[in-house]
Amino acid sequence: MACEIGTGASVPTLVDWRRRVATLYADVRRLAESDPAAALDHWRRVRERLYREHPQSPVPPHRRAAFVARHFPRDPALRFEVAVLPDEAAAEGDAGDAGGMRFRRIGWVDVPFPMGMRRLAVFWIEGYAGGLFLPFRDATNGQETYASGRYLLDGAKSADLGGDAARKTLVLDFNFAYHPSCAYDPGWICPLAPTENWLDIPIRAGERIR
C-alpha cells in the first residue's frame, strides 16, 4: 500500500496484491459516502488480513501469522475534504535511496486540524504510473508511530480516499494513515516526507506502533 521498492518480487503475486489493494480502496470510497466508520472498519480488517496472509506482505514471513495491526481510536474530527491549492513554484523532490524515484510538488492543502490550520504539500509521482502522493511526519513519530513518518495517499498504489474533481478537492481522512513498508522490514526502501510535510502537532489517528 505504499510507493516503495521491494526485493524478490513475484510478478503474479504483486499483480494480485495491487488488484486487492485497489479493490479495497474502491470499497472504502463507496462505503465512506454514507458511513465513514464502516469504511474504516472494512479497511482495517481487510488490510490486516492481507498483511498476515498475502505473499507480497511487507511483514517478514516469520512474523506474518501473528501479525496484528495497531491503530489509534477513530477520530471523526480528523476527516476532511479540502481544496488543492495550485503551486506556481512547484518543486521536484528526489527520493534518493528509493531507486531514484522522483516526485514533484503540484499544490498545497490547508488542513483545519482541531489544533489549528496546517499546510501540507501534495506531490505527483514521476514515472509511468504517476499518482498523487501525500506522506507526512508528525509529533507522534518515534514514540507512538514509525520514526520516519506515515503515508495518507499514494495514487500509484491505489491508496486514494476520494474527492471531487470539479471542485478540485481531496478527502484526507487521517484515520487511514499507515506506515510505509520499511517500518516492518528494512529490506524495503521507502520515499519519505519532505520537510514541508513535517507537522509540529501529534496526529493520533491511523496506524500506530505502540
Confidence at residue 2, expressed as pLDDT on a 0 to 100 scale: 46
In whole angstroms, what is the distance from residue 64 CA to residue 185 CA? 12
pLDDT band at 210 (very low <50, low <70, confident <90, very high): confident
pLDDT band at 74 (very low <50, low <70, confident <90, very high): very high
Distances (CA, A) of 73 to 1, 47, 149, 177, 208: 21, 16, 18, 12, 10
Confidence at residue 100, expressed as pLDDT on a 0 to 100 scale: 58
φ and ψ at residue 72, rounded to 5 degrees: -70, 155
Is 63 a residue whose pLDDT tops 70?
Answer: yes
Give mean pLDDT, residues 5-33: 88
Give mean pLDDT, residues 161-183: 97
Over the stretch 127-158, which tens digit does the pLDDT of each residue have? 767 899 999 999 999 999 999 999 999 998 89
> How many CB atoms neighbour CB 14 within 10 A?
13
Residue 58, class by beta-carbon neighbours within 10 Å (0-12 exposed, 13-18 middle, 19+ buried)?
A: buried
Distances (CA, A) of 136 to 37, 104, 178: 23, 15, 10
Q: Which helix (H) or strand (E) holds 107?
A: strand 102-113
In whole angstroms, what is the distance from residue 49 CA to residue 26 CA? 17
79-83 and 85-86 beta bridge pairing? unpaired
Task: Say which residue, 29 or 129, is predicted with more confidence.
Answer: 29
Please give the share of the chain, as a percent, with pLDDT higher than 90: 79
SS3 45: helix
Task: Please enumerate in sequence order all residues whose Cβ is within 8 A of that of 67, keeping only pairs 6 or more positions apart, or say none.
Answer: 48, 51, 52, 57, 59
Over the stretch 45-54, which tens digit does the pLDDT of each residue have? 999 999 999 9
Confidence at residue 180, expressed as pLDDT on a 0 to 100 scale: 94
User: Grid coordinates in use for 143?
Assistant: 514514540
SS3 74: coil
Confidence at residue 120, expressed as pLDDT on a 0 to 100 scale: 98
Q: Are 135 and 152 in contact (CB under 8 A)?
A: yes
Average pLDDT taken over every residue of the chain: 91
In whole angstroms, what is the distance from residue 180 CA to residue 149 CA? 8
Over the stretch 81-118, which tens digit does the pLDDT of each residue have? 999 999 877 666 654 444 556 889 999 999 999 999 99
Is 193 a residue whose pLDDT tops 90?
Answer: yes
